[in-house]
């Protein structure tokens, strides 16, 4: 099997495995007992989403300015932040009960719109991000440019709505 076929295989595996693992951990009938420190993770996740959005915007600005090294550095930062986010998110939701949105007015519809669109697009953006990075790392710049036209706005939306969801739900966290 060629290196490219192996990479595409692993991109497909990760694109399926990541959402499945998250869904399984979210649905655990008994939460893991990791201590009270996990109740700080939503705040960390909010910061990570904010930093990811800033990194993506800066990467976009730098590529437009033809500052490719800075573009790569900020995209790499966004990618690493995404991995750290995923670890924090899974850890929190595997060990803490979900927090219900505390308002019963029109804002709950806004909250659920952002939450659901955030979740659905976050699932779809995983393979796009992996492909975009694969193409960039393998100097397949034409393919990279084609996919990032869609990947960048979706990933940015997911990051920003993650912050919005956090800000809307944070007053209702128990700890």
> Would you state the pLDDT for residue 70?
98
- The residues spanned by each domain of the chain are 36-172
CB 122, CB 18: distance < 8 Å: no
In the numeric block, the tokens 């976009």 are attached to 60
Contacts of residue 67, defined as CB under 8 A and 6 or more positions apart, other chains included, come to none
> Would you state the pLDDT for residue 146?
97
Query: pLDDT grade, residue 32 (50/70/90)?
Result: confident
Query: pLDDT grade, residue 97 (50/70/90)?
Result: confident
Q: For CA atoms 70, 18, 97, 109, give the dihedral sign.
A: positive
Q: CA 28, CA 92: separation in Å to the nearest integer?
A: 12
pTM confidence score: 0.91
Q: Is the pLDDT of residue 25 over 90?
A: no
> Would you state the pLDDT for residue 149?
97
Q: CA 34, CA 47: separation in Å to the nearest integer?
A: 21
pLDDT by residue (tens digit) across 69-96? 999 999 999 999 999 999 999 898 888 8
Q: Is the pLDDT of residue 100 over 90?
A: no
Q: CA 136, CA 125: separation in Å to the nearest integer?
A: 16
> Would you state the pLDDT for residue 175?
62
């Amino acid at each position: 099997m060629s290196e490219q076929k192996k990479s595409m295989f692993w991109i497909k595996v990760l694109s399926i495995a990541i959402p499945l693992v998250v869904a399984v951990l979210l649905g655990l009938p008994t939460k893991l007992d990791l201590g009270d420190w996990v109740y700080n993770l939503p705040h960390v996740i909010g910061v990570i989403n904010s930093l990811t959005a800033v990194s993506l915007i800066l990467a976009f600005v730098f590529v437009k300015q033809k500052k490719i090294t800075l573009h790569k550095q900020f995209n790499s930062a966004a990618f690493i932040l995404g991995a750290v986010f995923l670890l924090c998110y899974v850890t929190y939701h595997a060990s803490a009960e979900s927090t219900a949105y505390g308002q019963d007015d029109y804002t709950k519809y806004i909250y659920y719109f952002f939450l659901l669109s955030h979740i659905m697009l976050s699932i779809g953006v995983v393979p796009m991000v992996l492909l975009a990075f694969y193409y960039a790392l393998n100097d397949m710049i034409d393919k990279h440019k084609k996919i990032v036209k869609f990947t960048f706005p979706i990933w940015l939306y997911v990051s920003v709505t993650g912050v919005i969801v956090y800000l809307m739900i944070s007053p209702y966290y128990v700890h």
